[in-house]
Amino acid sequence: MNKLNISIIGVPMDHGQNRRGVDMGPSAIRYAGVVDRIESLGHTVTDEGDILIGPADGTVEAATNLRNLKAITDASTALGDKVFEVSEAGNFPLVLGGDHSIAIGTLSGISERYENLGVIWYDAHADMNTSDTSPSGNIHGMPLAASFGLGHEQLTHIRGYSPKVKPENIVIIGARSVDPGERQLIKELGIRVYSMHEIDKMGMSAVIEDTLRYLKEERKTDGVHLSLDLDGIDPLYTPGVGTPVPGGISYRESHLAMEMLHDAGIITSAEFVEVNPILDEKNRTADVAVALIGSMFGEKLL
């Protein structure tokens, strides 16, 4: 197994939605032993600390239908700069959230490093709303759309360029709560989605094999970013998330997915988001995050 230099970047931000607590996610994941878990596999870990997050008033601007636009723009820019910096140094960026709006910043930093970046979006939600389609104005439901160039210019042009990823280079795994506007966009753009229907029907092994074949052979990506929202997993295993959706991916299926992604050597950066300790039970959700991070970096039973 290749030994990696891994840079952990915390993003203690909950401005992308209106339920408090997810800003403590990076601390919860660290407390659950993420550094020790990765180092036990022989990798080198540098904890880069947390991105400084500015205050926000929580209001939705009438003109934009976006909550906390400036604060999220500032945080995304700082995160993008940091991700680019550690990636340029040859390190694997591992970003800990924070709500899923942080993916806007992560992708703005990582996509500059690749000609044809792929994205695996492991999530119960498509996160492809814009200000025109969002029922809430919550930006944590918009990062994927912003990353392929749809939405407010402040979100789409973080670090001065857009798009960050091509829609045809995205694979969504675990979807089971998709808004009408997102559903239409998925069909129009031909985005590859494995909903819970496909996972139940095909099995997780076949879903990951299909994903690998699609991204490596059909799309010919030269790097793949994994964006894993803990609400992609069934809330039986991850109670500490802000938008739980029943009927999700199982704990064991998620381990299998991470193990297969590791064995394929396809993942070049990753983020784990939406751990909310206030809603959790004895840090169970952070423990799951750390266990899945371990599998992604090569942890095996034998």
> Which active-site residues does the annotation give?
100, 123, 125, 127, 140, 229, 231, 274
H/E element, 155? helix 153-156
Over its C-alpha atoms, the chain yields an Rg (Å, rounded) of 17
- Strands of the 192-195 sheet, one edge to the other: 44-50, 5-11, 92-97, 267-273, 223-229, 117-122, 170-175, 192-195
Cβ–Cβ under 8 Å, residues 273 and 25:
yes
Contacts of 301 (CB under 8 A, 6+ apart): none
Q: How far is the C-alpha of 150 from the C-alpha of 182, rounded, in Å? A: 12
Say which residue the tokens 């723009």 belong to: 73
The secondary structure of 176-189, three-state, reads CECCHHHHHHHHHH
Say which residue the tokens 């909903």 belong to: 195
Cβ–Cβ under 8 Å, residues 75 and 13:
yes
